[in-house]
Amino acid sequence: MPTALIAEDEELLAAHLRQELRALWPELDVVAMAAHGEEAVTLALRHRPQVCFLDIRMPGMTGLEAAAQLADEWPDGTPFPLLVFVTAYDQFALQAFERAAVDYVLKPVQRERLAQTVSRLQAALAQRQTPPAALESAIEQLRGLLGGGMPAPATPAGSASASGLLRHLQVGVGDAIVMVPVDEVVYLEAADKYVRVLTADQEYLVRISLRELLPQLDAQRFWQVHRGHIVHVDAIDRVLRDDTGKLTLRLRQRPEKLAVSRMYAHLFKAM
C-alpha cells in the first residue's frame, strides 16, 4: 500500500488535500499530518512515507528547507520519498519547479490538477529507482530550487559594496556597534533567529537568519556547506572523507570541524 505525508500549516487546506487524495487515490495511506516544517521532518523520518506533500510557506522551516533536511538525514538504503510541493507562487517561481522536474500543485488545490499529480506519482512508484539513485536525483532537484528558483528576501545586515554584497557586518555589542569586516569571518552558524559570526579569535551574534544573510555574501568566497553553516572558502584547510563517504572540513584559524551535508558535497571535488 502506498503511503504519504501531508505538511500544511492551514488545517482546513490540509484536510481538503487529504479528502481529495482519498477520492482520487483510495489505496493511498496518509500516515502522518504535519503542521510545520520541523514536524514534517520528524514524522517523515519516523514513518518513511513514499510520497511527501509539502507546503512551501510554513512557519519556521519552509517546505523546501524541510525537504533539504530530509535529504541530509534520510537513512541509506531506504527509497527517498517522491516530493510534491503545494504552493501559491506566481508563474516565474513555478518555472523553477518545472526546470527541477519536481511536481507541484497550486493552492487552492483543484481536483483536475491533483489527478494529474496522482497519475505521475503512481507511474513513478511503479518504476522506482534504487535508493541511492532516487536520493541523488532528489538532491539535484532540490539544489536547483534552493540555488536559483526560490530567492530569500534580503535584509540589510551591514555595509555593502557597490555590487550590493556585504563588506562589513554591523554587530551590536553592549552600547557599541562593531564593524566586522566580512573578510575576517571564518564561518557563520545558524542560531535560531540569530547568526553566530566566528572570526579567528572572536564570536558575535547578528539578529538575522542564515537564509536572509546568504544572498548578501559573495557566492565565490562564502559557501553554504550545511543547512546551519556558511564557511569562508579561504578559511578551509582541508576536506576529510570518512569510510562512509561523509565529508568534514578542517579550518585554518578555528578548532571546530564542520560537517558537509549531502546537499553540498558536490562543492568539493579533487582536481
Please state the rounded mean pLDDT for residues 108-118: 93
- With a threshold of 0.75, does the pTM exceed it? yes
| pLDDT per residue as tens digits for the range 199-256 | 999 999 999 988 889 999 999 999 999 989 999 999 999 999 998 889 999 999 999 9
Q: How many C-beta atoms lie closer than 10 Å to residue 253's C-beta?
A: 15
In this model, does residue 86 exceed pLDDT 50? yes
CB-based contact 14:20 (threshold 8 Å): no
Please state the rounded mean pLDDT for residues 59-77: 89
Structural domains of the chain ordered from first start: 3-149 (3.40.50.2300), 158-267 (2.40.50.1020)
Mean pLDDT of the chain: 88
Instruction: Give residue 153's pLDDT band: very low, low, confident or very high (50, 70, 90).
Output: very low
Pairing of strands 185-191, 194-199: antiparallel
Element (H, E) at 186: strand 185-191
In this model, does residue 128 exceed pLDDT 90? no
Backbone angles phi, psi at 239, to 5 degrees: -115, 125
| pLDDT per residue as tens digits for the range 242-256 | 988 899 999 999 999
Which residue type is seen at 49?
Answer: P
Residue with cell 520541523: 38
Calculate the CA 141 to chain-centre distance: 11
Element (H, E) at 17: helix 11-24
d(CA 208, CA 194): 5
Backbone angles phi, psi at 247, to 5 degrees: -105, 145
In this model, does residue 28 exceed pLDDT 60? yes
Instruction: Give residue 152's pLDDT band: very low, low, confident or very high (50, 70, 90).
Output: very low
Q: What is the pLDDT of residue 269?
A: 84
Q: What is the pLDDT of residue 139?
A: 87
List the grid coordinates of 177: 556597534
